[in-house]
Chains A and B, each alone.
Chain A
Amino acid sequence: MKERGGKIGYFCPLVPREIISAAGLQPVRLRGETSSIATADAYLYPNLCPYIKSVLSSALADRDNLPEAVVFTRSCDGMRRLYDVWRSYLNPKFTYMLEIPKNSDEAAIGYFSKQLKDFASQLSGYTGRRMMEKALQKAIVKENRSRRLLRDILSLQRTMPVSLKGSEIFLQGLNMFSEPERVTERRIKEMHQKAWGSNGDKPAAGQVRILISGNVMDRPELFEMVEHMGAEIPVADLCTGLKFFSRQVPEEHEDPYLALSMAYLGEPHCAHTASPIQRVDEIKKLITAYCVDGVVLTSLKYCDLHLYDMPYIARTLADADIAVLSLENDYLFTNVSQMKTRVEAFIEMLQGD
């Protein structure tokens, strides 16, 4: 059988890139690129996650350049249905639905590790190459290294003022999802050096420090808005931010699949496994660690996993005298001017304190 290589598309940052790399494929997280998501409305329905609809619209508009292989996750209702629609209308050569448990206890970790093993086996069937455990161990070490470097940079953000702009770290994090590992590593090392040596262009101390907490975000508008107002973003607790960088997979574990399962279902918890209480606790830890003055809770529209929790989280933080702003976004940030008014008012309020 002819061996296959190339790129494999995925969506949710809970897909272990390590397994894809070990299979000799390049993992590329798919992002919505079109300015309109209306095409997807005809295939899914309007009141669905704008990230999912945006990616589907992009795919429908550019069928010739889609990855032949795509990995989906049982992470939310929208993703379950995207899997159905993608297979029905885009004819991919290979698809896989990765079962991500909605719990993170022992049973869930055990089940997920079996799913990961099955995923690796299906990928081997697709590529025509047997996946060696050694290759997986190596991929774990590599991914850990990239994430660790980014975490190191983040740890420098605990200082006042921050070493780097939050938007800069956020954008680099996004690049990690799509570019080859060697490029990522080079870029992060450069960034690391910049962070250590950043003395000249540091903003003045005493600035308001904002934590952005939410789900998937692939565009920098919110970061730019906050920074434009003169506030700092030391940390972003997003699926495409800290939640991704924080995964540290045990490297010497005798069962690499179990090791991956523990790391991906462990802290920081994804909204689809955590309770609102756990999420508040994790946010509070970040507030203390990064000396945060205010929290911007943000969610994609129609994301039930986040929208249901937001009022409870906002109320609990407010009861603890933590300033909170809740914002919904439509992934493409077409509602930027309305958002800007609210962000400005929030930061002005904090600056006045």
Chain B
Amino acid sequence: MLRKYYENMKAGLELQYEKKPRAATRLLIEIASAVIAAYEENIPVIWTSWYSFPMELLAAFDVASFDFEIASNSLPLLEPDTAVDVMSSAEEEGYSPDICSFHRLSVGCQMLGHMPHADLLLATSYFCDGTARINKVIASYHGKEAITLDVPNRIDNDSITYVVKQLKTITGKIETIAGKKLDIDKLRECIRLSNRARLAYSRAAELQKLKPATWNGITAVVLSQAQDLLNGKLAQEQIYQAILDECLNKVVAGSKHLEENHRVMWLAWFPQQPTVVNEIFRKNGVNVVMGERTYAFWEEKDERNPWEAMALWCLQYPYTGHIEQRLAGIEKIIDEYQIDGVIHFSTDACRHTCAGQRIIGDRLQKKGLPFLVLDGDMSDKRKYSEERTRFLLESFIELMAARK
């Protein structure tokens, strides 16, 4: 079922791209292609979290990678009722409705036979407990090995060495599955490509500082959940360069078509399921200028030390470590992007992001910045209320307007 969805999606996107070659469309085509490729038989498939695993390592092997969270969570957008049915199957098996809908969908798809085969399952520890856990659970269904790349909270020599050691162990496992040794020069080349992509991305992000901002930041937030799939690949640089060109064209054209009454920063995730958020923003001239995961938080990776570079990328992630690491990124964006208000999307079971809301709220209050906790759910339409979303967002927009 899932494969069919992606095949249809890809066909539609390709038609769209032919008519209007937009960078975001190409990125979606790449994502769909990666998912479809994982269903090919007789090829090694490595499951992982595209958004948190240093994908340059997999790019260096050129193996198929499959992100079970991203893949299964297209369902709420394409077929919200089917998504509920899949989650219900997981719940009937005993998976608590209190666990993340992303993971109920993933395990539901697994139980119903919608997932491709897996040769190795890699997860990381630093986003949430759930991802690493469900990775192990799904690995049990496959009878394959699950590995958690354990990323500590603190950044020091010990933690860098520890992460590097794990990456090297994982490399050994991938070598066995891919049937070839790692070519260190290829890895360096992937790091180089990743840096070039970062540069293009940073320039595009820089343009978001203009008023009005040139790019719809919601697209950036949504795509940031999957775009790291291409880390270390030429396609990523090309797509980011195309995004930059599109933004520059808008600047040259004057960007007068963009109504921007309020500049908002988006924290945590953006719902995968259809909501009224976009409609309300359009109606009220709200522009999501930047999300906390969509700025280039990491330094250029040192291709001479690829292992340390990949380890540092994980360690510097906004969600790794204490709340200060996250707050530092949030405050930097607020200051640099002239933000009028901050929205934290509070998906029901996302414990690590939601449990930081109070501290973030208090810090923003000191700055005198409106802050909204928008509760809802990423993928479960049973936990979504259009009326409540509308009420919360409209009140928040009124608050931002009153401050002007």
Contacts and interface: CB of A to CB of B under 8 A. Distances in A.
Interface residues of B, number: 46
A38 interface: no
Chain B binding surface, main DSSP class: helix
Interface of A: 42-45, 47-49, 74, 76-78, 80-85, 88, 97, 99, 101-103, 105, 107-108, 110-111, 114-115, 272, 275-277, 301-302, 304-305, 307-312, 314-315, 326, 328
A251 B356 CA distance: 41
Contacts of B335: none
Interface stretch (B7-15, B136-144, B174-182, B185-193): B136-144
Contacts of B129: 76-77, 272, 304-305
Interface in B129-151: 129-130, 132-134, 136-137, 139-141, 146, 148, 150
Contact of A47 (B130, B152, B349): B349
Contacts of A326: 94
A304 B133 contact: yes
Given A275-B136, A311-B95, A45 B152 contact: no
A85 B93 CA distance: 35
Interface in B90-105: 93-96, 98-100, 103
B146 A275 contact: yes
B70 to A, nearest CB: 19
A315 to B, nearest CB: 7
B148 A302 contact: no
Q: Which 6 residue pairs spanning A and B have beta carbons closest together?
A: A311-B94, A81-B355, A308-B133, A77-B352, A84-B323, A111-B162
Interface string B289-329: 00000000000000000000000000000000011000000
B134 A47 contact: no
B94 A304 contact: no
Interface of B: 93-96, 98-100, 103, 125, 128-130, 132-134, 136-137, 139-141, 146, 148, 150, 152-154, 158-159, 162, 165-166, 169, 322-323, 346, 348-349, 351-352, 354-359, 362
A78 B355 contact: yes
A99 B153 contact: yes
Nearest to A301: B98
A97 B323 CA distance: 13
Contacts of A48: 351, 354-355
A315 B92 CA distance: 12
Contact of B137 (A111, A272, A308): A308
Contacts of B362: 88
